[in-house]
Amino acid sequence: MSKRPDGVVRGPLAPHAAGFRAELARLGYSKSAARKHLQLMARLSEWAETHDLGVCEATAAQAEQFFSERRKEGRANLLTTRSLGPLLEYLRRGGVVPEPQPPVIAGPVEVFLETYRAYLARERGLVDGTTRFYVHVARLLVSEHAGADGLRLGELAAPEVMAFAARACRHRGLSSTRQVVSALRSLLRFLRLEGVTAFALDQAVLSVAGWTPSLPRAIDPGDAARLLRSCDRRTSAGRRDDAILTMLLRLGLRGGEVVALELDDIDWQRGEIVVRGKRRREERLPLPADVGQAMAGYLQRGRPPSDSRRVFLRCFAPFSELGVGTGAIRGVLARACERAGVPYASPHRLRHTAATEMLRAGAPLSEIAQVLRHHSPTTTSMYASVDHRRLRELARPWPGGAA
Q: Would you please indicate which residues are annotated as catalytic (active-site) residues?
A: 254, 278, 348, 351, 374, 383
Question: Within its chain, how far is the Cα of 162 from the centroid?
Answer: 32
Closest CA to 353 of 233, 222, 252: 252
Beta partners for residue 150, in sequence order: 147
Give dist(CA 202, CA 195) in Å, integer. 14
Q: What are phi and psi of 274, to 5 degrees?
A: -100, 125
What letter would DSSP give residue 313? Answer: B
Nearest alpha-carbon partner for 151 in 196, 106, 108, 105: 108
Q: Whole-angstrom Cα distance, residue 29 to residue 37? A: 10
Q: Are 391 and 384 in contact (CB under 8 A)?
A: yes
Query: Taken in order 207, 123, 321, 250, is the CA torsion positive or negative?
Result: negative
**CB-CB neighbours of 325 under 10 Å:** 15
Q: How far is CA 112 from CA 139, 143, 144, 146, 165, in A?
A: 9, 11, 13, 11, 20
The helix/strand/coil state of 273 is strand
User: Whole-angstrom Cα distance, residue 274 to residue 264?
Assistant: 9
Say if CB 312 and CB 261 are below 8 A apart.
Answer: yes
CA dist 123 → 149, 199, 260, 297, 373 (Å):
29, 21, 19, 38, 21
DSSP state of 198: S
The H or E element containing residue 151 is strand 150-151
CA nearest 245: which of 264, 262, 226, 260? 226
